[in-house]
Chains A and B, each alone.
Chain A
Amino acid sequence: MADKNEVLRLLELAHQARRDLCKLCGMYSGNIHMGGDMSMIDVLTCLFHRTMQVGPDLVQVPERDRFILSKGHGAACMYIIMAQKGFFDYQEICDTYGNVGSKFGQHPCKTRLPMLDVSTGSLGHGLPLSVGMAASSRQKGRRNRVFCMMGDGETCEGSVWEAAMSGHALKLGNLVAIVDRNKQLMTSFSEDSIRMEPYADKWRAFGWNVIEIEDGNNMAQIVEAFDRLPGSNTEIPTVVIANTVKGKNVSFMEQQIKWHAGSLNEADLATALKDIDEAFEKQKEGL
């Protein structure tokens, strides 16, 4: 069982990240990919604040863990959690997001933000990149891990499965793929359109170690899952399948196709923040 105080610490960080994300969405005139941001935000919180050996002081350290946001449209969520970690200034994100010359745009750009491990945005590209990074770390004798966050819809891309084969063939136990299994694509529910189930079996068939999180928005379950990653010196790559809810904790966003991406007016922002606070209180009670 995960330590209760640690879970509470992470819950508070995830709660703050949700609030900060909604506020950013309220300030920005364009759309932000709120649905997928809110589904993966709890996992991302655990990764950056507990699981991964990363930080602004480690950017030049070869032994640091690597993070590849293969679902690059979740950049806003990542920026905010990285700001909590001290990589960025939250206010700068709010002041400049999506502007000409800004470092912070819809998809992560390493040219503008050198502390990122990669530039991403086009779906299905992250896992091959991660395989390359993991192979390089292996060859150099490092003990770090490479974490690759994908959306479940993204795994429709064939390149994901090419890399799944390579990760297995190269025996990359230092490679951890995470699937934000929110069961929605941009325009459909996955089981209505492309019928992904039995999903975990697909990864097992490719030879991967599968860790499923029944509720990928439950921090205790998330912590417990990532705490049992096999050692980075093992020979089988791991996929963590987090069953999540798109738009999690905002009543009018949850499982709504129209909330793949959007912007918040003042009234909606107030409702969103109220929903988030209420959900947080319930989560605390449930500990």
Chain B
Amino acid sequence: MKQSYTLDEYNSARSVVGDAITELGGKDERVWLLTPDIGFGCKDFQTKYPNRFIDTGIAEQDVVGISAGLAYDGNIPFIIGMMPFMSMRALEQVRTDVCYPNLPVRIIANYAGLTGNGGSTHYAMEDMALYSSLVNMTVCAASDPVQLRQIIEKSLNYIGPLSIRIDPGKENRVLYPADTVFEIGKGYLARDGKDITIIACGEMVNYALQLHDLAKDAGISVRVIDMFTVKPLDKEIVLKAAEETGRLVVWEDHLMKNGLASAVADVLCDNGVQLKSFKRFGIPQVYPGFGSAEELYHLYKYDLDAVWAYVKSLF
């Protein structure tokens, strides 16, 4: 596929990850790349910096422990893995070996949410809940190639552990102009609006932007916040949206409990905010079967049609 950072063209998150880490590896001797046999985006780095590349084979606990050992010695290890296994199989290593000593290990993992058609063993439905529970961990869900590249670049000098979930990473629409500035820990106001706010992350942002356009044609003004940092959550942007639009939708490719919606609800509850409406869209309490992401979003009623039908019903 042609690599592009031009608006509305396509790129693959895999190559974005590989390019960004290889570039960092050239600039900074502290950068290592490790993978538990996932390997996307590794080729260039491995060729250029073989002494700072480790493939552990299918061993997520090991790859995290080794990364922690490297980080203790002043290195900045990036791990490329698959999110269901990075977030579950290696959870204790991430917590105890990385987060407890607050080490700068970066975990970039694909197959977030119901992407990839792998069935329930291969869906990362709980990763944001699990990683958000870890003290010191920063949890990101990238929505487009421009943003993903920027998070990786900015992670170099970021304090403490950081994770980024992406979809399979094969085909990703560029949602933002190349000069867009993203700040880790801050929500990004992707579209302004006054009637209702959609807070989305990752895959769902693409749909939220489409919904914004549909709504505009129907005379409804929809604010879209790309909450690419799920933890620490940008409280100010949530409270401002609540105050200014009075209605919130939270949309995520993750269990709709204990993910982004729950984090947003915490902010609202902790601040005693009363809304006209609050609605979450995401994975219900099921182990989903097979199908394309679009088919599953439809089946579990959090596709564009379902959310648009809900938004329309309010006005």
Contacts and interface: CB of A to CB of B under 8 A. Distances in A.
A131 interface: yes
Given A121-B96, A159-B93, A129 B56 contact: no
Given A125-B93, A159-B65, A132 B100 contact: no
A135 B59 contact: no
B12 interface: no
A133 B92 contact: no
Interface stretch (B68-76, B184-192, B282-290): B68-76
Interface of A: 62, 110-111, 117-119, 121-122, 124-125, 127-137, 139-140, 158-159, 162-163, 165-166, 169-170
A122 B66 contact: no
14 contacts: A119-B96, A125-B65, A125-B93, A132-B77, A134-B69, A135-B54, A136-B73, A136-B75, A139-B51, A159-B93, A162-B59, A163-B66, A166-B54, A170-B54
B67 interface: yes
Interface string B84-111: 0000000011001100110000000000
Nearest to B55: A169
B61 interface: yes
Main secondary structure of the interface of A (DSSP, over half): helix
A110 B97 CA distance: 11
Nearest to A68: B69
Nearest to A146: B69
B120 to A, nearest CB: 23
Interface residues of B, number: 27
Contact of A131 (B65, B75, B100): B65
Most buried by B among A122, A125, A130, A132: A132
A137 B75 CA distance: 11
A136 B61 contact: no
A72 B37 CA distance: 30
Most buried by A among B62, B67, B68, B97: B62
Interface of B: 51-52, 54, 56-57, 59, 61-62, 64-75, 77, 92-93, 96-97, 100-101
Contacts of B66: 128-129, 131-132, 135, 163, 166
Contacts of A127: 65
B302 to A, nearest CB: 36
Contacts of A62: 73
A125 B64 CA distance: 10
B35 to A, nearest CB: 12
B57 A130 contact: no
A128 B72 CA distance: 12
A132 B67 contact: yes
A169 B63 CA distance: 13
Contacts of A159: 61-62, 65, 93
Contact of B92 (A110, A122, A140): A122
B62 A135 contact: no
B65 A163 contact: yes
A163 B73 contact: no
Nearest to B102: A111
Contacts of B72: 117-118, 129, 132-133
A121 B75 CA distance: 23
A69 B46 CA distance: 32
Given A159-B61, A162-B56, A129 B73 contact: no
Contacts of B75: 136
Contacts of B97: 125, 128-129
Contact of A133 (B54, B62, B73, B100): B73
Nearest to B71: A132
A128 B62 contact: yes
A119 B59 CA distance: 22
Contacts of B100: 111, 119
Contacts of A117: 72
Contacts of B70: 132-133, 135-136
Given A159-B65, A162-B62, 6 more contacts: A117-B72, A121-B96, A132-B65, A132-B73, A133-B70, A158-B61
Nearest to A157: B61
Most buried by A among B72, B77, B92: B72
A131 B59 CA distance: 13
A157 to B, nearest CB: 9
A135 B50 CA distance: 12
